Amino acid sequence: MPFTAQDIRAARLHLQKTDPVLKKIIRRVGPFRCKVNRDRFQMLVHSIISQQISGAAAQTIQGRLQAAVEPEKVTPETILEFDLGDLRELGVSRQKASYLFDLAQKVQSGQLKLNALSRKKDSAVVQELVQVNGIGVWTAQMFLMFSLARLDVFPVDDLGIRNAIRKSFRPKHQWTRTEMLKLADSWRPYTTVASWYLWQSLEIQENLR
């Protein structure tokens, strides 16, 4: 299910009330425009493809993959119809191809039940997903945020989040991971919304250059 207007309204009010820096960021960025990807398998595929490459490169490979399976969707079955050479021709590295095969096999066999994840707690979702080769805590957190629309996920190890905090909150301070987690305490239970605004703040700063 998507983020509800009621939840987002409550989140914005809470964040603006509890954090003056985020209040300024929210005013500059404007409305919360985060969309939820309801195709859970496809989102995980894209997350694996996106690891350690640029967004533009990931989009290119994702587009090639989609074109290769059309008129069908990217599903466990369509992934398993490829062999390693097929995926390599699409631009997928050997290692990422092995991750995609592992994901597809686990979903197809029922070992990983994506449709059941919405009924589980955040920690349980992470535990389920990290059983797949190539899916770590960060990818699981992105899934919680952008596929399950969980409101209180704070990806403290995300490079963009860490850069945004360093630039917007006491720029000369050498922030530690523990300090960032403590900073986010006041944003709960809406750290997902706070994180989205932090990512957007980097785009604003980039556009001002």
> Given a cut of 90, is residue 2 above it in pLDDT?
no
Is residue 52 domain-shared with residue 66, that is, in the same domain?
Answer: yes
In angstroms, the CA 168 to CA 164 distance is 6
Whether 114 and 57 share a structural domain? yes
189 in the same domain as 129: no
Cα(46)–Cα(65) distance, rounded to whole angstroms? 10
Q: Which of 99, 122, 146 delimits the end of a domain?
A: 146
Burial 113-152 (b: 16+ CB within 10 A, else e): ebeebeeeeeeebbebbeebebbeeebbbbbbbbbbbbbb
Both tokens assigned to 197:
């605004």
pTM: 0.89
Q: 121 and 78 in one domain?
A: yes
Q: Residue 127 sits in which domain range?
A: 40-146
Which of 146, 168, 191 is the C-terminal boundary of a domain? 146
pLDDT digits (tens, 9 = 90+) for 159-185: 899 999 999 998 889 999 999 999 999
pLDDT digits (tens, 9 = 90+) for 94-134: 999 999 999 999 999 999 999 999 999 999 999 999 999 99
Q: Per the structure, how many domains does the chain have?
A: 2
Asked if residue 55 and residue 19 are part of one domain, the reply reads no
- Residues 140, 157, single domain; the answer is no
Decide if 158 is catalytic.
yes
- For residues 44 and 96, membership in a common domain is answered with yes
CATH number assigned to the domain comprising residue 201: 1.10.1670.40
Please tell me whether residues 133 and 102 are part of one structural domain: yes
- What gap in Å lies between CA 16 and CA 70, rounded to an integer? 45
